[in-house]
């Protein structure tokens, strides 16, 4: 008998879904080439970028698609290896650090893990590995 995975984990994690609310199998994203940024519905439905790593896994952090300037969503530009916000021109590097303002803060992170073929996204409350400090969103 198929037992569906728990929708909400004890750690506050949720299962990644697509824009239509369907679960996204990890294998679907991992079929794409390394460096791919895949947008999924993450915590509280917030669009979140997942990254396919060089060794064909999902990076352990997701990047929330919410500009820290005024909250626009933004595309990934693979040619420049940046997230580029169309609203006022902010740019972030491949890990979500600000490269050019007016955005004042790095992009929010979320934990990403794979269980079976499901992707779990959990709140990130530990030290921000990019700054070595407590995250601004906690």
Q: Is 39 in the site for ligand FES (CB under 6 A)?
A: no
73 CB burial (10 A radius; 0-12, 13-18, 19+):
middle
List 25, 60, 87, 105, residue binding ligand FES (CB under 6 A): 87
- 114 binding ligand FES? (CB under 6 A): no
Q: How many residues form the binding site for ligand FES (CB under 6 A)? A: 12
Give φ, ψ of 62 to 5 degrees.
-105, 155
With CB under 6 A as the contact rule, the residue among 85, 107, 110, 112 that binds ligand FES is 85
Cβ contacts of 80 within 8 Å, gap of 6 or more: 91
Our CA angle for 74, 31, 112, nearest 5°, is 55
Site residues for ligand FES, 42-71, by CB under 6 A, read: 67, 69-71
| Site residues, ligand FES (CB under 6 A) | 67, 69-72, 85, 87-90, 102-103
């Amino acid at each position: 008998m198929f037992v569906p995975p728990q929708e909400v984990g004890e750690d506050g994690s949720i299962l990644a879904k697509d824009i239509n609310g369907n679960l996204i199998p990890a294998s679907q994203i991992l079929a794409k080439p390394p460096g791919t940024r895949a947008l999924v519905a993450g915590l509280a439905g917030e669009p979140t970028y997942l990254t396919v790593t060089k060794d064909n896994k999902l990076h352990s952090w997701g990047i929330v698609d919410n500009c820290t300037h005024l909250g626009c969503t933004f595309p990934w530009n693979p040619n420049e290896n940046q997230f580029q916000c169309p609203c006022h021109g902010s740019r972030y590097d491949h890990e979500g650090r600000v490269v050019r303002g007016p955005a004042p803060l790095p992009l929010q992170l979320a934990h990403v893990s794979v269980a079976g073929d499901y992707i779990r996204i959990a709140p990130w409350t530990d030290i921000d590995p990019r700054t070595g400090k407590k995250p601004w969103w906690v």
